[in-house]
Structure 1
Amino acid sequence: MAFQPIVDVAARRVWAYEALVRGTAGEGAGAILDMVDQTAIYAFDQACRIKAVELAGRIFPRDDDTRLSINFMPNAVYEPDACIRATLTAARRADFRLDRLMFEFTENEEMRDTAHVRTIIEAYRRRGFTTAIDDFGAGYAGLGLLSELRPDVLKIDMALIRDIDESTTKRAIVRAVVAMAAELHIDVIAEGIETAGELATLRGLGIRLYQGFLLARPAVEALPAINW
């Protein structure tokens, strides 16, 4: 697992670290997932969660509320409480507080059963977890999914972020997302930040939390330094 920070630039603090699966030769998550047989996807999802929590317990700072953000595949979760048991056990073993866990589900995975995903989110909330929609604005769902699920966090897809300083259309869309999220009391993260122009524009639109290569690249089994 590699870790990439999500930072509050104004406060100059790390808000969370996202755990990202990597291959032994540095392969990215997409390449790894392509190698996982669908019959093994549940076991793989569980193994990634456990590994991320164990590492976080070892290398995360102990004296703050920095979150661990874990990607999960809703279609691999057959029953929320049963599927979370191994994660809870890993958190207890690693002495990692449950309220520091955030679970991201991506819009790029088709939601076969929205009611099932809502059940997952409700179960996770009861445990004190933060929930997030990853890649918001891309994939199989958008505003409909948001209205159904009401997550705690939206991560705006990097396709909307890229060159936003040069696109009035993207700025209008992101401005509307930020206003909508504020009314719904949902935090917004801009992901995929690569240039100072993108960051400055997004700060002007009122976004507080950021993730991207401009700030820090993922580090394998380590917490990278932040390019403040």
Structure 2
Amino acid sequence: MNTLAAPRLACRACRDGTELGFAFTMAFQPIVDVARGQVWGYEALVRGPHGEGAGSILSQVTEETLYRFDQAARVKAIELAGRLFPAGSDTKLSINFMPNAVYEPAACIRASLEAARRVGFGHERLHFEFTENERFRDIAHVQKIVTEYRRQGFLTALDDFGAGYAGLGLLANFRPDLIKIDMDLVRGCDTDAGRRTIVGGIVQIARGLGVGVIAEGIETAGEAEALHGLGIDLMQGYHFAKPALEALPEVAGFAAGGTLRSVA
């Protein structure tokens, strides 16, 4: 499909009530603030209705259903968060979105805002992630999305930083609120001086730009300790909790007051 046709298709898909033809739900994985010893937020991850991996669902998404799926996934995540998240908290909800599926940022966010209002979930708690692994059709369009979302009061994050297409260029162009350092850079950083040097450099660049950092894919106490030593407080990975289907998992790996600890 050519990119000029995409907006017209998107408009039609958002209006016509086309069924996706498959069911899906969400699992939630915590993002912890180890400095404060608390959960900062949860990332909503696409799953099949019985816990099937995201790949089994995304493989069913076609060009014709891309826009509707993106909208439906956001609404599903917000509705579940409204039911599961602690009442009265400021816990963030992190939602992955597909920039190539957004034809007009202000229009395409309406369903998300309506869902948030419906379940009493403050829109300022919404955090949208776009991935460096997705090759964007139109960089200027993605910049427009990020600008609009920030205007609406949402946090934005560049996911999988260091793993995909032109990461530093995307960071320079978009200036998101946060970057999520890819797990391939995190893995073994406690024993690999080269990885620590790279991650430390990313942290310094982010600080210089006023961008926050989340490290993802953490599996060991050693990795968590090394990353904390580099100045990263927000972390995510199996060391703390695996995703739970339509539930908030029990969190391990750190104690109140920000003390990191081993997980048996």
Asked whether the two chains share a fold, i.e. TM above 0.5, the reply is yes
Cα distance in 1 for partners of 2:141, 2:113 equals 21
On the 8 A contact 1:57/1:95 being kept in 2, the answer is: yes
Alpha-carbon deviation of 1:141? 2.4
Q: TM-score, normalised by structure 2?
A: 0.85
Normalising by structure 1, we get a TM-score of 0.98
Question: Which of 37, 51, 69 in structure 1 is aligned with 2:76?
Answer: 51
Q: Which among 165, 169, 172 is matched to residue 197 of structure 2?
A: 172
| Counterpart contact for 1:161–1:191, Cα < 8 Å | yes
Q: What are the ranges of 5 or more consecutive residues in structure 2 without an aligned counterpart?
A: 1-25, 255-264
Counterpart residue identity of residue 72, structure 1: F
Does residue 158 (structure 1) correspond to residue 199 (structure 2)? The answer is no
Q: Distance in 2 between matches of 1:30 and 1:137?
A: 22
Match of 2:94 in 1: 69
> Matched residues in 1 for 2:146 and 2:64: separation?
24
Rg comparison, structure with higher value: 2
What is the letter of the counterpart of residue 198 of structure 2?
Answer: I
Q: How many residues align structurally?
A: 228
Is 1:134 the counterpart of 2:153? The answer is: no
CA contact (8 A) 1:189 1:209 kept: yes
Alignment partner of 1:207 out of 221, 225, 232: 232
Q: Give the corresponding residue for 1:120.
A: 145
Secondary structure of the structure 2 residue equivalent to 1:166: coil
CA–CA separation in structure 1 for the residues paired with 2:234 and 2:154: 18
- How far residue 69 of structure 1 moved from its aligned partner, in angstroms, is 0.3
- Paired AA for residue 27 in structure 1: E
Paired AA for residue 110 in structure 1: R
CA distance in 2, matches of 1:196, 1:58: 31
Q: Tell me the CA shift for residue 35 of structure 1.
A: 1.9
SS at match of 2:190: helix
C-alpha separation between the residues in 2 aligned to 1:31 and 1:169? Answer: 35
Contact 1:216–1:224 (Cα < 8 Å) also in 2:
yes
Q: Distance in 1 between matches of 2:66 and 2:231?
A: 38
**What whole-Å deviation, never above 9, does each CA across 1:11-58 have from its counterpart, x for those lacking one?**
111111000010123222223212211211111111110000011111
Secondary structure in structure 2 of the residue aligned to 1:63: coil
Q: Deviations over 1:143-196 (max 9, x none)?
A: 001000000000000010011112111111100000111111111000000011
Taking the aligned partners of 2:157 and 2:90, their CA distance within structure 1 comes to 17
Equivalent residue, structure 2, for 1:9:
34
AA matched with 1:152: D
Contact preservation (8 Å) 1:189, 1:208: yes
CA distance in 1, matches of 2:60, 2:186: 29
Q: Which moved more, 1:188-197 or 1:33-42?
A: 33-42
Q: Give identity over the alignment, percent.
A: 64
After TM superposition, list the pairs within 5 Å mapping 1:4-43 onto structure 2: 4-43=29-68
